[in-house]
Amino acid sequence: MKLKAPESVFSSASFCPGCGHGLAGRLIGEVAEELGIEHKLVTVVDVACCSFHIDYWKFDTIMAAHGRDIPTAVGVKHVRPDSAVMAYMGDGAAYAIGMAETIHAALRNDNICVFVINNSVFGMTGGQMAPTSLPGERTATSPKGKDPARYGTMSGLELVKQMDVAYVARGELIGSSGMVRAKTLIRKAFTHQLNGDGFSLVELLSPCPTNLNLPPVKAKAFVHDEMTKYFPLGEFVDKGGNV
Amino acid sequence: MAKELMKGNEALAEAAIRAGCRFYSGYPITPQTEILEYLSWRMDEVGGTFVQTESELAGVNMLLGAAAAGARALSSSAGPGFSLKQEGISYLVAADLPAVIIDVMRIGTGLGDIAQGQGDYWQLTRGGGHGDYHTIVIAPASVQENCDLMQTAFTLAEKYRHPVLVASDAAIGQMVEGVELPPMHEHDVDTYDWAVRGCAAGAEPRKVQNTYYTRPDYVEYLRDKYAQMEEQEQRWEAYRAEDADVVLVAYGISSRISKEAVDLARERGFRLGLIRPITLWPFPTKAFAACENAKAFLTVEINILGQMADDVRLAVQHRCPVDFYGVFFDLPEPEDIIAKAEALLGKEGK
Ligand code: SF4
């Protein structure tokens, strides 16, 4: 079988080698085309590494303010209810500066898809500590390792999954089975939106070799072996489904 | 058309609906909350969207999304809430997006208080957010003007693809006056091709982002845009200003009290006049050319530092003295205005 790149993805050339963003971008492109929504999809991307997608996707795209992707996407969805609308951001945007926005969109069950690329650090700014950094993780602002007595570790997904929303799941952009699984989660999120079920959040654990100071293979191992201890994979809410 | 009684804030909300606004997002804060309350049921009636957001930050960024999707979109706030809107205003400017944001001014820095104030003048006219920009700022002085100028605000926002701010205050927001409402307009969200909706097969995807990333002529483009606004959009009312010895300069609620002062002074033989800026930015510098007899200018403002006085100094190019009469937590008094104007004229030795 010959693999064909989705037509809605131009490139992913600006991401660092081994980064998960390019993989996520491609999966979203594939799913959009398979669901036949590529011509009615509006994407909202966060600043920093996420924002590269604005030049790589053949979708109408808004580059939102840091952490405000979700309300921006909600604004679009209200005006264009027939469009498919997604917000795409990192863990810093979704769970640090934009935590209120994430929680309240879930509380309103706004009918959009949210994709969070969780790589445990702030990427573009050079690998600073995030709410998702693991206890003891060395980052640019926790050079001795994240001190769990001062900074907790959590993903906002844990809060969102307790709410009356359409779909909440976590996958990893690691290995072929991880990729196949991640694609399924993305597809389910969009399907819920198309059914009018409301808010979906899919968190994708993703390697950031540059800021983990690890070669790509070891960065993948960190995601798969270490991050999943704190951020377990799975489907947590699936309205009308079997969760 | 028959007149009806309306509260200032509700008139702003109804006028927005009639200007074709079908999207509102905002957060409660006194003295603008009637705008939210009114639109919470009125948007339903016209098939629009009302969202009470978790914060002004969410409100202004939701506004940005709605504007990018082609809606006539509105948000409103006051005091500390209006400060939070600045992030989104800067982003609206950067992305060339039209939207209208109302500031029903209250008094003071920090929490301040809920009484009428005009202390946001600098924030409104100098670009209250980060970066290099202006916004058109429209200052109604009556409930009727609240109605008339909302249409203007949306028209200018789209003409320039730029946010427009409406500067009201607690007094005009809360007062009830007879108004003639404008007719109902519908706005088609597909009016402009730049609005995101989904990229048709074979088409170029629409990208809403800082135009600096995509426009090679970004610097000239912005300079030209603001030069055009300064040339074309100055609005003001001149009241008995032509032959006046001292010309008051006041907007909003202060301008109404200043008008009273002008009439009272004239009855006593003191030739007082008034320039009322309707646009605070662009500041109506053209208005001052007609004040040929003026020996001094006095701004009347509800703030401590006389924020508008520098704009008057620039408008008259320091040809004659400019002072300010400012009150805090109070309303200007016509007698005090006249006394200050007389003293100013006296100092100039006529
Ligand atoms: S800094 Fe990290 S997240 Fe950003 S492109 Fe590089 S690897 Fe990816």
Name the pLDDT band for B2 (thresholds 50, 70, 90).
Answer: confident
Domain boundaries, chain A: 21-238
| B contacts of A76 (beta carbons < 8 Å) | 65-66, 68-69, 196
What is the Å distance from ligand 1's center to B288 Cα?
56
| A contacts of B58 (beta carbons < 8 Å) | 68, 71, 100-101, 104
- For chain A, list residues with pLDDT below 70: 1-3, 242-243
Q: Is B247 left (phi over 0), alpha (psi -120 to 50) or beta?
A: beta
Helix, strand, or coil (residue A98): coil
Q: What does CATH list as the number for B237-349?
A: 3.40.50.920
Q: Looking at chain A, which residue has its C-alpha nearest residue B74?
A: A75
Q: Ligand 1 — pocket residues by CB below 6 A?
A: A 15-16, 19, 21, 49, 119, 123-124, 208-211
The number of the ligand 1 atom at minimal distance from the alpha carbon of A20 is 8
What is the Å distance from ligand 1's center to A124 Cα?
6
- CA A132, A138, A142, A148 torsion: positive or negative? positive
| B contacts of A44 (beta carbons < 8 Å) | 65
What count of other Cβ atoms lies within 10 Å of the Cβ of residue A148?
11
Q: For the whole model, what pTM was predicted?
A: 0.96
How many CB pairs below 8 Å do chains A and B form together? 139
CA B62 to chain centre: 21
What is the Å distance from ligand 1's center to A62 Cα?
20
Q: What are phi and psi of B100, to 5 degrees?
A: -120, 130
From the list B87, B201, B209, the residue facing A63 with the nearest CB is B209
Please answer whether residues A97 and A70 qualify as being in contact, where contact means their C-beta atoms are separated by less than 8 angstroms: no
Model confidence over B294-310: pLDDT tens digits?
Answer: 999 999 999 999 999 99
Class of domain B4-232: alpha beta
pLDDT, residue A10, reads: 84
Q: Looking at chain A, which residue has its C-alpha nearest residue B54?
A: A104
Q: For the domain A21-238, what is the CATH superfamily, name and number?
A: Thiamin diphosphate (ThDP)-binding fold, Pyr/PP domains (3.40.50.970)
Residue B263 has pLDDT above 90, yes or no: yes
CA of A168 vs chain B CAs: smallest distance (Å) = 21
What average pLDDT does the structure give for chain B?
96
Model confidence over B126-147: pLDDT tens digits?
Answer: 999 999 999 999 999 999 999 9
From the list B22, B87, B205, the residue facing A58 with the nearest CB is B205
Which residues are CB-contacts of B65 (< 8 A; sequence separation ≥ 6)?
A: A44, A62, A64, A71, A72, A73, A74, A75, A76, A77, A79
With CB atoms and an 8 Å threshold, state whether B25 touches A58: no
pLDDT, residue B180, reads: 97
Which ipTM was obtained for this model?
0.96
